[in-house]
Amino acid sequence: MWGKKAKDVTGNVWSHLKTGPSMTDTARGRLTQGAKVLKEGGFEKVFKQLFDTMPNEQLKKSYACYLSTSTGPIVGTLYISTAKFAFCSDRPLQNNPSDQQASTYYKVAIPLERVKAVMPSANKDKPAEKYIQTVSVDDQEFWFMGFVNYNKGLKNMQEAIYPPLPCA
């Protein structure tokens, strides 16, 4: 049992590092993000600095992952709160390659009441490449991938919109 878990974790970490265009940049980004979280006092404080939050909103979980975009995967952190799924890139992205000053963080926030479905998916040709498809009520699709812990990420995203029933 422990051998299978170790193999899964190793595979997930490897998948996370190789999803981006450069494993070195991805590893550096993870270290930078970790230092930022330590400096700011935890993921909850970073989340509240990055996104507008409601008074009683609390962060449930956060995951290092990628958001798939038409220009390629963007490495960042997915935050699962009591009110939304929120993603922020690890580094600012340049809006215009010729203008070094025009760069901003890539952010997406999806209120939980606007989420219609959270579904697992995998590349048929490469089953190790796993995705979490999130569909909004207006049929917008968001594809998250490269999770260090895919199964827990999927479970927590699904539980955020389909809370478990209380025991009788």
How far is 14 from 146, CA to CA, in rounded Å? 9
Name the pTM for this structure.
0.76
Q: What does the pLDDT look like over 81-121, one tens digit per residue?
A: 999 999 999 888 776 666 566 678 899 999 999 999 999 99
Q: What does the pLDDT look like over 18-76, one tens digit per residue?
A: 455 566 666 666 556 665 655 566 778 889 988 999 999 999 999 989 999 988 889 89
